[in-house]
Structure 1
């Protein structure tokens, strides 16, 4: 699975890179702006997205675009999950910073399972 990392904090992006690769997935990025993320989007299956991006844009806006335009599964990785009380903008999960490695690994495994089920339904129907 190809995982796009959208995170503007270097240390967190580095940690996410390590977790993604440790789980056997292909890493795309990390990137820190909407424009960069959209450039990678056609190749991504899932995206780990921070809510606050380096270009001042919202990860929520990006998530909606990734889901609607590219069918990418989004997992928010954020320090402020309370800002998502009114909905996840199409994200399948929200992970609060600071996070544990196993939380990211579990969310990636769930995303992979959802993708497999979706592909199975599409091919059997």
Structure 2
């Protein structure tokens, strides 16, 4: 059996952060850290080297999840995905993130989305279709299509 996927959660609302952390751990993932603002998140990305960073778009002390996604992309080798109720405010390229999971979401939607993202990270291209409630960056979908050729 493979090691659980290592995930960093970036969310500025403490109760939501705890709920997401609990859902991830119950689903068998390893939460390597949590952050409530961009500076904290970027420091933890460097420190913990997660496979996946789940990011709320609007963060504490008026920082932005977009800044975290750009930092993750610059580091390389780590996947960033937004979890936000403001998914429509993102550009078509998802501001550098791989995916966006629309809030509010159920435990089932989160689990399906994480399974898909785990395939993106560990076994690309994913065999399954993009789950409901999730949007994938067009560039990533294009690269998956090319992999299948």
TM-score w.r.t. the length of structure 1 is 0.85
2:110 pairs, out of 87, 98, 104, with: 104
- Paired residues in the alignment total 118
Q: 1:48 aligns with which of 35, 47, 54?
A: 54
Q: Which runs of 5+ in 2 are unaligned?
A: 125-149
TM-score, normalised via structure 2 length = 0.72
CA contact (8 A) 2:37 2:64 kept: no
CA separation in 2, counterparts of 1:110 and 1:92? 11
Q: What is the 5 A alignment of 1:14-29?
A: 14-29=18-33
Q: Is the 8 A contact 1:75 1:107 kept in 2?
A: no
SS in structure 2 opposite 1:62? helix
- CA RMSD in angstroms comes to 1.5
Q: Please identify runs of 4+ aligned residues in structure 1 that moved more than 4 A.
A: none
Name structure 1 gaps, 5 residues minimum: 119-125
- Give the Cα–Cα distance (whole angstroms) in 2 for the partners of residues 114 and 82 of structure 1: 23
Q: Note if contact 1:93-1:107 (Cα within 8 Å) is conserved in structure 2.
A: no
Pairing 1:38–2:28 present? no
Tell me which residue corresponds to 1:5.
9
